[in-house]
């Protein structure tokens, strides 16, 4: 898929998610979140069709190249044999000498083969210059080569039309992306929760979404019975991964893969110094780890 189209799609998905996240607080006047999602899905579908059309064109092109190369080589072989066969018949040889198997282009290959077949029929329709190559089989090879050439033209047109449709839809979706972002960031400043989320989650260039900063631990307590309670300021986007290292252990292990709340309470920890690290993760991947938080579990 075209990188620009993929970026428009990625940006639209992020835009739609951000619009849905603040829907209770604000509904964009130009288009509903539902319609934004439908437009994005239509672009994804159309881009997939364009990719398939491109693959079909490449397949047809490869087939054409193979068939035409074979047809050219056969024309060159049989034409050379025919010239040697008619070497003592000046008139026939002179006619054959008007044909060359240069193969400078696809159309040139087809024209040279057709010209040779025409002269072959004029000189001796029953002549067989090489085993298995009658005029009929050579003409059939020409039909196959012509069909392969035409198939490429057909698939090129199909891909061109599909690609143009994809580009047109992408223009519309990108217009929604940029206009929604401009309105949303005007309504929500960078210091507001919604404004920070929008700016963090929605890409404005072809660069990927940046991973979030680590979550900030507000309070970390042992609450007895092997349990801990931790309050966070969560990352601006994404979720929190929690890693733990128990007393006497040398490595951290993930104990919570995806926490979306702003607190965490869990039991089953051994008494003593239990260490925890926290990582913010979003569509751009994991961010930096937090500093280690140590809780004396009882």
pLDDT above 90 for 238: no
Q: What is the mean pLDDT of residues 234-249?
A: 86
**3-class SS of residue 65:** helix
Rounded Cα distance, 109 and 262, in Å: 71
C-beta of residue 101 within 8 angstroms of C-beta of residue 112: yes
| Percent above pLDDT 70 for the chain | 96
pLDDT tens digits for range 108-135: 999 999 999 999 999 999 999 988 899 9
Residue with tokens 């040139």: 108
Distance from CA of residue 247 to its chain's centroid?
Answer: 47
pLDDT tens digits for range 53-74: 989 988 988 898 899 999 999 9
Residue 147 CB neighbour total at 10 angstroms? 12
Higher-pLDDT residue of 92, 159: 92
Rounded Cα distance, 49 and 53, in Å: 6
pLDDT tens digits for range 5-39: 888 999 999 999 999 999 999 999 999 999 999 99
Residue 140 contacts by C-beta under 8 Å, 6 or more apart in sequence? none
Read out DSSP for 167-231? HHHHHHHHHHHHHHHHHHHHHS-TTSHHHHHHHHHS-SSSSPPPPPPPPEEEEEEEEETTEEEEE
pLDDT above 80 for 206: no
Q: What is the mean pLDDT of residues 175-189?
A: 94
Look at residue 209 in the predicted model and tell me its pLDDT.
59
| Percent above pLDDT 90 for the chain | 64
Look at residue 2 in the predicted model and tell me its pLDDT.
56
Tokens of 198: 């929008």
Look at residue 111 in the predicted model and tell me its pLDDT.
95
pLDDT averaged over the chain?
Answer: 90
Higher-pLDDT residue of 153, 271: 271
Look at residue 32 in the predicted model and tell me its pLDDT.
96
Higher-pLDDT residue of 166, 210: 166
Domain architecture of the chain: domains with CATH: 1-207 (no CATH), 216-297 (2.60.40.10)
Beta bridge partners of 241: 279
Look at residue 283 in the predicted model and tell me its pLDDT.
63
Confidence of residue 43 (pLDDT cuts 50, 70, 90): very high
Confidence of residue 208 (pLDDT cuts 50, 70, 90): low
Rounded Cα distance, 37 and 26, in Å: 17
pLDDT above 70 for 3: no
pLDDT above 80 for 210: no
Q: What is the mean pLDDT of residues 68-82?
A: 95
Look at residue 152 in the predicted model and tell me its pLDDT.
85
Look at residue 128 in the predicted model and tell me its pLDDT.
95
């Amino acid at each position: 898929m075209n990188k620009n189209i993929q970026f428009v799609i990625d940006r639209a998905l992020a835009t739609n998610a951000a619009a849905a996240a603040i829907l209770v607080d604000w509904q964009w006047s130009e288009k509903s979140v539902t319609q934004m999602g439908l437009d994005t899905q239509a672009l994804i579908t159309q881009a997939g069709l364009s990719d398939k059309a491109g693959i079909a064109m490449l397949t047809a092109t490869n087939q054409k190249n193979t068939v035409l190369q074979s047809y050219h080589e056969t024309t060159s072989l049989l034409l050379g044999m025919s010239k040697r066969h008619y070497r003592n018949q000046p008139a026939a040889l002179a006619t054959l000498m008007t044909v060359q198997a240069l193969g400078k282009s696809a159309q040139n290959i087809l024209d040279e083969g057709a010209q040779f077949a025409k002269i072959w029929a004029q000189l001796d329709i029953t002549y067989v210059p090489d085993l298995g190559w009658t005029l009929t089989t050579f003409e059939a090879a020409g039909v196959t080569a012509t069909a392969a050439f035409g198939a490429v033209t057909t698939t090129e047109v199909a891909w061109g039309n599909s690609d143009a449709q994809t580009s047109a839809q992408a223009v519309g979706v990108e217009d929604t992306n940029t206009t929604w972002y401009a309105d949303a960031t005007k309504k929500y400043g960078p210091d507001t929760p919604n404004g920070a989320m929008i700016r963090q989650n929605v890409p404005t260039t072809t660069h990927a979404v940046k991973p979030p900063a680590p979550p900030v631990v507000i309070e970390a307590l042992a609450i007895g019975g092997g349990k801990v309670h931790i309050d966070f300021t969560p990352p601006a986007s994404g979720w929190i991964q929690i890693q733990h290292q128990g007393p006497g252990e040398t490595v951290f292990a993930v104990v919570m893969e995806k926490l979306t709340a702003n607190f965490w309470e869990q039991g089953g920890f051994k008494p003593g110094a239990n260490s925890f690290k926290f990582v913010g993760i979003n569509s751009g991947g994991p961010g930096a780890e937090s500093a280690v938080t140590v809780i004396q579990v009882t």
